[in-house]
A and B are shown apart, each in its own frame.
Chain A
Amino acid sequence: MSAISLRDLDIAYGDTRVVEGIDLEIAEGESFGLVGESGSGKSTVLRAITGLATEWTGEISLYGTPRGRTIDKRFAALCQMVFQDPYGSLHPRQTVDATLSEPLAIHGIGDADRRVPKMMEACGLDPRFRFRLPHQLSGGQRQRVAIARALMLKPKLLLLDEPTSALDVSVQAEILNLLKRLRKEQGLTYVLVTHDLAVVSFLCDRLAVMRQGRIVEVADIAALKTRSMKDPYSRELVEKSASRLT
């Protein structure tokens, strides 16, 4: 069974249609990269899956169950999202402890006192950070908190929207290693949106290239590594990235 199945998905913001005719199957346990320039609609696809963009037509199914347009607790427990900017996605006046306990409270799961430190440890956060506020943490630590929050409900599916592009390369490496390890340990399925093809190469098994709201090519990661993508636009994108990364 597919973890995510999108059929003939169109997404709009008001009168502007930003994503058109997306058909995509992502298998359970897969790590899937979604790449393209800004404005290509890649983040919008994630927002629709997670329920933040509600003006869509077509079908979004997670593990065989079609999703509605409203916020749905069952889907929240199944599928969580990590955003680009750890400075913006954490509440500035909530401690790490409060941030990580909130999903548990909402879903009526107790035992926060045991689960929070455990998750912090899994995400490489020192236990002494538990009662700190976001401004007392570095960018990399904040992103670890955001990842920990996403994993508190033990979802099977993690949507990652440019999780490392606000971070320095040295910190990016730490977060990418963390994501890779967590996926192995917890058998997670990833959908990673990024403009950095090298990150996709490190973390993903398959990728789709988007342009102007449409998927132009779905390819195996090997095609990216050997630079043998088929669509002319994806080739162009790969060549441009390659020329930067000597």
Chain B
Amino acid sequence: MSAPLLDVRNLRVRFPTATGPVEVVRGVSFALGRERLGIVGESGSGKSMTGRSILRLIRRPGIVTADRMRFEDSDLLDISEREMRKVRGARISMVMQDPKFSLNPVITVGDQIGEALAVHERLPRRQIRRRVVEMLEAVQIRDPERVFGLYPHEVSGGMGQRIMIAMMLIPEPAILIADEPTSALDVSVQGEILKIIDDLITSKGMGLIFISHDLNLVSAFCDRILVMYRGEVVEECKASELANASHPYTRGLIASVPRLDETREELPVLDRSQWETR
């Protein structure tokens, strides 16, 4: 593999509290190539914080430190906010969980997607419109001309998420961070959305960081998996080898998920004392 797109070493995120600082990400390191990397963990494991800190979206009083956070030729922690704005959205973009809360309710879908493009490139309006319609087609929205003029409340959850993806991918970023992109959607729509992400990622040679609490989903969709627990990466493995995971936390998680052909009388419950580090 060539040099990684993103190289993160010893990432830490701290928040001050009344009882002293709490470290929510504790020394996470990983490198991302042109691949699909999954980050799994429970709520509070620090997976979303990891994703957000890459885009420097953690506001004060939160403090982000890392030995290295290299993207292309720059270190994301050193560059100015002005330079960061050229990276954010254009080179690295992020799809959030719920389109209902991430789309602007008073701007039409087409204008919102167009804005993502206009901010980063100077293009004539007609060309922007054409690119937006093409992008809506790429995320498999039938009748893109009509959807262009709709407001977010006029579209379904699945379509809203396609619109989010269109908006995030239209500047053709090098890395897409998807934070629970399908958790708010029905199972039947989830598959379609994942396929769209997958097709676009592969055809454009992008890197993907896929953040989810859903172990099965991540193992089916990604190439490589990081399992996070309490702010640390406790396991790193190929997605195909998740079944052979060695950390008791990962094994416990896998076992606690009910199966479609469930025969167990009782589901095993995590015994956290086994690996508790503090």
Contact = CB atoms under 8 A, between A and B. Distances in A.
Interface of A: 37-38, 139, 168-174, 176-177, 180, 195-199, 201-202, 224-227, 236-238, 240-246
Interface stretch (B127-135, B165-173, B182-190): B182-190
A233 to B, nearest CB: 10
B220 interface: yes
Contacts of A176: 258, 267
Nearest to A225: B261
Given A201-B261, A241-B187, A173 B43 contact: no
11 contacts: A169-B253, A170-B42, A171-B42, A173-B267, A180-B265, A195-B187, A196-B187, A202-B264, A202-B267, A225-B262, A246-B220
Interface stretch (B68-76, B111-119, B139-147, B210-218): B210-218
B191 interface: yes
A201 B270 contact: no
Nearest to B194: A244
Contact of A245 (B186, B216, B265, B267): B216
B48 to A, nearest CB: 13
A158 B217 CA distance: 30
Interface of B: 42-43, 157, 186-188, 190-191, 213-217, 219-220, 252-253, 256-270
Contact of A244 (B191, B262, B267): B191
A244 B258 contact: no
A149 B77 CA distance: 49
Contact of B262 (A171, A201, A236): A201
A168 to B, nearest CB: 4
Nearest to A199: B258
Nearest to B268: A173
Given A37-B186, A168-B213, A226 B261 contact: yes
A242 B260 contact: yes
A169 B261 contact: no
B187 A240 contact: yes
A38 B256 CA distance: 25
Given A170-B253, A170-B270, A177-B269, A245 B260 contact: yes
B213 A245 contact: no
Nearest to A36: B186
B256 A173 contact: yes
A246 B260 contact: no
B260 A238 contact: yes
Given A201-B262, A225-B261, 18 more contacts: A168-B213, A169-B215, A169-B256, A170-B252, A170-B253, A170-B269, A170-B270, A176-B267, A180-B266, A195-B186, A196-B187, A202-B267, A226-B261, A227-B260, A238-B260, A245-B216, A246-B216, A246-B219
B278 to A, nearest CB: 18
Contacts of B269: 170, 173-174, 177
A198 B42 contact: no
A169 B262 contact: no
B262 A168 contact: no
A202 B256 contact: no
A201 B42 contact: no
